[in-house]
Structure 1
Amino acid sequence: MEVNANQKIYLPVDGILELFNSLTGHHESDITQSAALITPLPQHPKVSNIPKTSMGIIKTVKGRLKQQDKRAASPCRSSSSGNRQVSTDRLPKRSVDLLELGLTKRRNCLRIVVLGAPKVGKTNILHRFLGKDFEEHYEPTVEDFHRKLFHIGGEAYQIDLLDAASERDFPAKRRLSILTGDTFLLVFSLDDRESFNEVCERLNEIKDARAKLLNLKHPTRVPVVICGNKADVTAPRAVRRSEVAEILGEDVAYFETSAKDGTGMDGVFRALATLGGLPGETSPSRHQLISILSYQSMCIGPRGRRGSRGLVAPCAAVDTLARRPSFTSDLRLVLRSSTKHNKPERCQIQ
């Protein structure tokens, strides 16, 4: 029996049938032909009677067989080569939060809250930012939370995107998401007047919520980008650019976009970065997309240590394991922020 390429270990014939049974799960009848090649002894001793050295080898082999079974049962992911398969045991085991790991500063982390009516293209706009393809088939979004990690000019950055679609009918939950947002992306469809009216309502809601959080007497200006999507649609427009400026104000960052062909997308992402105090290289057209494993080796390094901080070309990776923090965590974040500004007894979410 070979354990590796350099060493051969010979086990006694005694107990060989029990060894095969313990390793492969075969019954004695399944290996009758193989057993016929071995001169049987009058009586087979129990496996426990095999010498300790042999038992150690048996355990090692059995452990390796179990590992092989797990790898065979695990789904594989195709690499860029097209033929080679990468086992999922090489993928990250948990989400990467640069702030929690102490690998970046709070000012380098941004949460963007995305709001808007259904079917206006919010999901495909986020797909553009994440480097994914446009999806023609519409599926209602329950809630999406995405995280994209950047390495720009030797610094690490983190952008979290929350598509709070499921909170449309739950004002208290929506208000909590608004209070945790750093910047906001409000999306409507150019061929749907009602979706524009909803954006106007959400903008006023954001202003009111932020004013109460900061204990201001009047609504304040908020870091928001308005996106009139579906500019590629040939149907008559229900909302004109002049109306947007008249209703929302000239100083609002407004873009007419098409998530399908990419029109205006770069301007939207640059505006969000500017409002959030992040580099313009966070826009998808200005950085290279790499795997999360490559990003970890570059920025995190082995054993969670800070990796290379040299000047390299701007790059980014999508953290596919990122999940939205619990509502309890978000509430604590809001309470800390409220205490920092006002020192109230409690923060009203309703």
Structure 2
Amino acid sequence: MNTTEKFYLPVDGILESFNSFTGHRFLTAHPFLHSATLTPVFQHTKVSNLSKTGMGIIKTVKGYWRGQDKRVVVRRSSSSGNRQVSTDRLPKSSVDLSELGQTKSRNCHRIVVLGAPRVGKTNILRRFLGEDYEEQYEPTVEDFYRKLFHIGGEAYQVDLLDASSERDFPAKRRLSILTADIFLLVFSLDDRESLDEVRELLNEIKAAKAKLLKSNHPMRVPAVVCGNKADLDARRVVSRSEVVKILGEDVPFFETSAKNGIGLEGVFRALATLGGLPDETSPSQHQMIPILSYQSMCISKRGRRRRHSRGLSAPCAAVDPLARRPSFTSDLRLVLGSSTKHKKPEMCQIQ
């Protein structure tokens, strides 16, 4: 019995389902798909065409969904730790001001943050980066941030290394100490042991820097000390006079609260003073802009004459979401290179 039965390819249903999920209607505009929905196919003579057409549509839908998934993965994988990365289009790589010819070596600084766990180091850094206080605590393994400034016609680059986990790795911590230009030491006013740890860190920094520079004299460390959690006054166990007695009067000390912002303005200005940076690097003194806007501004200003570039715009800054800590090999070369400016270095400076 040679009976011919007609079958219609349910393309309309597939397209409607696809459009309801994606919100796009570009598939229905394809003339081939329109013809496929209107042209009958026969069981015997057109079965191969039906399979090819149906599979083609399915592959198209799967390919689109896979493309959407990849976009989501890229957005998620670009974030690290507590770092908030915008879903906007990002540069292809980290913004290096030296490559753009927009900064000088004296305008590039690395701030290393050290202290006991749970004292508020991450939230202090969040404040400096222009972000909000985060109530939920998550232990920090290691975070590296880069904030770029454009102030008075000059570009500045500040790298921040939160080296919390390195307290258990002396050689790694020593390398971070030797590559730092400025130190931010944080303890909690409701935890006396965290103050003792800051005292030990301060002594370790002095010894490491003196060994690097082959100096037999006590060194003054470019460090700022924060007694954080000043908002918890009822639980306070450390007084200001006790801090000065333990750490000395030559170390800038501020009582701060990362939660409500108490004392942080003074901390950021003290860090700027130690690094020879403008006061406008303090978060309250500049405007935050997207990284792409900052990159475009630097490129456009590079072509202008220097005498016309100063004072063209208000102080602004951007956080580079793609910045990553340089390799340990690069840091070690930096340490060995800085030591040769004074005397011949030892075999290994981080032991």
Are 2:75 and 1:74 equivalent residues in the alignment? no
- Alignment identity in percent? 73
Are 2:338 and 1:337 equivalent residues in the alignment? yes
CA contact (8 A) 1:297 1:307 kept: no
CA contact (8 A) 1:168 1:174 kept: yes
Take 1:193 and 1:307, find their aligned partners in 2: how far apart are those partners?
Answer: 54
Take 1:278 and 1:330, find their aligned partners in 2: how far apart are those partners?
Answer: 23
Q: CA deviation at 1:348?
A: 2.2
CA contact (8 A) 2:100 2:298 kept: no
Gaps of 5+ in 2: 1-26, 28-32, 47-62, 76-85
Q: Which residue of 1 aligns with 2:302?
A: 306
Take 2:347 and 2:177, find their aligned partners in 1: how far apart are those partners?
Answer: 17
CA contact (8 A) 1:188 1:196 kept: yes
CA contact (8 A) 2:166 2:173 kept: yes
Take 1:89 and 1:292, find their aligned partners in 2: how far apart are those partners?
Answer: 10
CA contact (8 A) 2:108 2:157 kept: yes
CA contact (8 A) 1:112 1:185 kept: yes
Amino acid of the residue matched to residue 146 of structure 2?
R
Q: CA deviation at 1:346?
A: 3.2
Query: What SS is found at the alignment partner of 1:74?
Result: helix
Q: Which residue of 1 aligns with 2:257?
A: 258
Q: For the structure 1 residues 88 and 313, does the alpha-carbon distance in structure 2 shift closer, same or farther, using more than 3 Å as the test?
A: same
Amino acid of the residue matched to residue 297 of structure 2?
M
Amino acid of the residue matched to residue 306 of structure 1?
R
Take 1:236 and 1:68, find their aligned partners in 2: how far apart are those partners?
Answer: 53
Q: CA deviation at 1:90?
A: 2.9
Query: What SS is found at the alignment partner of 2:214?
Result: coil
Q: For the structure 1 residues 319 and 307, does the alpha-carbon distance in structure 2 shift closer, same or farther, using more than 3 Å as the test?
A: farther
Amino acid of the residue matched to residue 194 of structure 2?
S
CA contact (8 A) 1:99 1:109 kept: no
Q: Which residue of 2 aligns with 1:178?
A: 177
Take 1:321 and 1:69, find their aligned partners in 2: how far apart are those partners?
Answer: 24
In the alignment, which of 26, 34, 37 is matched to residue 37 of structure 2? 34
CA contact (8 A) 2:336 2:345 kept: no
Residue pairs, 1:71-220, within 5 angstroms: 74-75=71-72, 90-220=89-219
CA contact (8 A) 2:212 2:345 kept: no
Q: CA deviation at 1:97?
A: 1.7
Q: CA deviation at 1:243?
A: 1.1
Amino acid of the residue matched to residue 247 of structure 1?
I
Take 1:269 and 1:174, find their aligned partners in 2: how far apart are those partners?
Answer: 23
How many residue pairs match? The answer is 293
CA contact (8 A) 1:229 1:259 kept: yes
Q: List per-residue Cα deviations over 1:54-102 (Å, max 9, x = no partner).
A: xxxxxxxxxxxx899746852498xxxxxxxxx9683111111212443
Amino acid of the residue matched to residue 74 of structure 1?
R
Take 1:72 and 1:164, find their aligned partners in 2: how far apart are those partners?
Answer: 33
Q: For the structure 1 residues 73 and 250, does the alpha-carbon distance in structure 2 shift closer, same or farther, using more than 3 Å as the test?
A: closer
Take 2:340 and 2:99, find their aligned partners in 1: how far apart are those partners?
Answer: 21
Amino acid of the residue matched to residue 349 of structure 2?
Q
Are 2:318 and 1:321 equivalent residues in the alignment? no
Q: CA deviation at 1:250?
A: 1.4
Q: For the structure 1 residues 193 and 103, does the alpha-carbon distance in structure 2 shift closer, same or farther, using more than 3 Å as the test?
A: same
TM normalised by structure 1 equals 0.76
Q: Which residue of 2 aligns with 1:270?
A: 269
Query: What SS is found at the alignment partner of 1:160?
Result: strand
Q: For the structure 1 residues 72 and 327, does the alpha-carbon distance in structure 2 shift closer, same or farther, using more than 3 Å as the test?
A: closer
CA contact (8 A) 2:167 2:173 kept: yes
Are 2:278 and 1:282 equivalent residues in the alignment? no
Residue pairs, 1:6-17, within 5 angstroms: none
More helix by share: 2
Query: What SS is found at the alignment partner of 1:177?
Result: helix
CA contact (8 A) 2:123 2:133 kept: yes
Amino acid of the residue matched to residue 174 of structure 1?
R
Query: What SS is found at the alignment partner of 1:184?
Result: strand
Q: CA deviation at 1:269?
A: 0.3
Take 2:216 and 2:296, find their aligned partners in 1: how far apart are those partners?
Answer: 48
Take 2:99 and 2:36, find their aligned partners in 1: how far apart are those partners?
Answer: 60
Query: What SS is found at the alignment partner of 2:340?
Result: helix
Q: For the structure 1 residues 98 and 235, does the alpha-carbon distance in structure 2 shift closer, same or farther, using more than 3 Å as the test?
A: same
Take 1:173 and 1:73, find their aligned partners in 2: how far apart are those partners?
Answer: 35
CA contact (8 A) 2:148 2:319 kept: yes
CA contact (8 A) 1:172 1:349 kept: yes
Which segment is superposed worse, 243-252 or 260-269? 243-252
Which segment is superposed worse, 232-241 or 144-153? 232-241
